[in-house]
Amino acid sequence: MRGMLHLAHLDRSIAELLADQLEQVGVVFERQLASDLSAVNGLCLHVERYRGKMLRPTLVLLSGLAVSEEPHDEETLNERHRVVAAVAEMIHMATLVHDDVLDEADVRRQGATVNHLWGNETAVMLGDYLISNAFHLCSSLGDPAVNLALGQVTNTLCEGELVQLHHRNDYSIDEATYFEIVRRKTASLIGECCRQGALLSGAKPEHAESLYRYGIALGIAFQIQDDLLDLIGDEDIVGKSLGRDLEKGKLTLPVTHLVSQANPEDRGESLRVLKQRDAAALRDRLRDHGSVAYAQETARRFVREAKSELERWPSGRAVRMLQRMADSVIDRSY
């Protein structure tokens, strides 16, 4: 498993604690998906290979730890953190499976996608099965407030995707609309992971809110980096089909910048390149117009915003790791 964090560079004790907790999250995840039907189990085993960065579970755990920086962190985290972490990862996995159908992608995490192997129908149903199991697992906590919060977040996430589809091939949308989509489709779940992790450790709502804002800013930076990797990443390193945003007429931050900046003639040429799906010409134009640099700087701004939320927390090992996670979101090449 290729984690978000280069754990070796960190405080050994918390790195080991986190690795141990993530393994337990994996156990909760697999136990939930175990079916009495072998055909279903085979599909779930394939999907479990998608678990990679474990960004969302890691944020639930670290936010839980950040609330009480004590020598014995083990006791701060309980089964409820691990269940919410597994629920968040399962929701994320469902969106990956359905995104691959939407994007007609063939490769995910260096392996074939579900739709490529078994067809779109199975991918649609498997995604539904994952969403359903996520809610079922969440219900096992017996805490309606958590169910309500996670249900609200998946509503928001789907709304983000629907608005994005509504604006497909619409290169006139402005940055505000771009951020509205990203906030909903990507940042909302990441922010909620932070808030729930903190609440489960007994944080006051207003304190949990600060970690929520950290997660929202981190999520936006994460999505901008995803946009950049899809445009200028290396498919072998990223491990999934690239260039899909252009193919599917999805608006990304660099492209929004490119289209909004140019003079009318220049803008016409940009639109022509976009409509022709000419990836090489688009890359050149984005570089020439400073749109890549602009997106990179915007991502850095959101990382700074995320880290500024951490300043109000006592600096302990978990908070230092949250700071590093914010940096690692844009330092990654996969």
Q: Is 48 in the site for a copy of itself (CB under 8 A)?
A: no
Nearer to a copy of itself, 120 or 261 (CB): 120
Q: Is 142 in the site for a copy of itself (CB under 8 A)?
A: yes
Q: Is 172 in the site for a copy of itself (CB under 8 A)?
A: no
Interface with a copy of itself by CB under 8 A: which range of 19-27, 49-57, 63-71, 143-151?
143-151
Q: Which of 112, 124, 279, 281 binds a copy of itself (CB under 8 A)?
A: 124
Q: Which of 29, 50, 129, 212 binds a copy of itself (CB under 8 A)?
A: 129
- The tokens for 23 are 């393994």
Q: Is 177 in the site for a copy of itself (CB under 8 A)?
A: no
In single-letter form, the type of residue at position 1 comes to M
Total length of the chain? 334
Nearer to a copy of itself, 7 or 141 (CB): 141
Nearer to a copy of itself, 13 or 78 (CB): 78
Give the shortest CB-249-to-a copy of itself separation in angstroms: 11
Interface with a copy of itself by CB under 8 A: which range of 20-28, 118-126, 225-233, 236-244?
118-126
Q: Specify which residues 111 forms β-bridges with.
A: 108
What's the per-residue H, E or C state across the chain?
Answer: CCCCCCHHHCCHHHHHHHHHHHHHHHHHHHHHHCCCCHHHHHHHHHHHCCCCCCHHHHHHHHHHHHHCCCCCHHHCCCHHHHHHHHHHHHHHHHHHHHHHHHHCCCEECCEECHHHHHCHHHHHHHHHHHHHHHHHHHHCCCCHHHHHHHHHHHHHHHHHHHHHHHCCCCCCCCHHHHHHHHHHHHHHHHHHHHHHHHHHCCCCHHHHHHHHHHHHHHHHHHHHHHHHHHHHCCHHHHCCCCCHHHHCCCCCHHHHHHHHHCCHHHHHHHHHHHHCCCHHHHHHHHHHCCHHHHHHHHHHHHHHHHHHHHCCCCCCHHHHHHHHHHHHHHHCCC
Q: Is 141 in the site for a copy of itself (CB under 8 A)?
A: yes
Number of residues that bind a copy of itself (CB under 8 A): 47
Q: Could you give the CA distance from residue 235 to residue 279 in angstroms, rounded to a whole number? A: 14
Interface with a copy of itself by CB under 8 A: which range of 8-16, 82-90, 116-124, 307-315?
116-124
Within 185-244, the residues that bind a copy of itself by CB under 8 A are none
Q: Which of 5, 67, 157, 238 binds a copy of itself (CB under 8 A)?
A: 157
Nearer to a copy of itself, 35 or 110 (CB): 35
Nearer to a copy of itself, 8 or 37 (CB): 37
Residue found under tokens 């604006």: 167
Q: Is 169 in the site for a copy of itself (CB under 8 A)?
A: no
Q: Is 277 in the site for a copy of itself (CB under 8 A)?
A: no
Give the shortest CB-214-to-a copy of itself separation in angstroms: 24
Give the shortest CB-104-to-a copy of itself separation in angstroms: 9
Q: Which among 256, 222, 259, 229 is positioned nearest to 244, based on CA atoms?
A: 229
Q: Is 125 in the site for a copy of itself (CB under 8 A)?
A: yes
Site residues (vs a copy of itself, CB under 8 A): 35, 37, 39-40, 43, 94, 98, 101-102, 118-122, 124-129, 131-133, 135-144, 147-148, 151-152, 154-155, 157-159, 161-163, 165-166
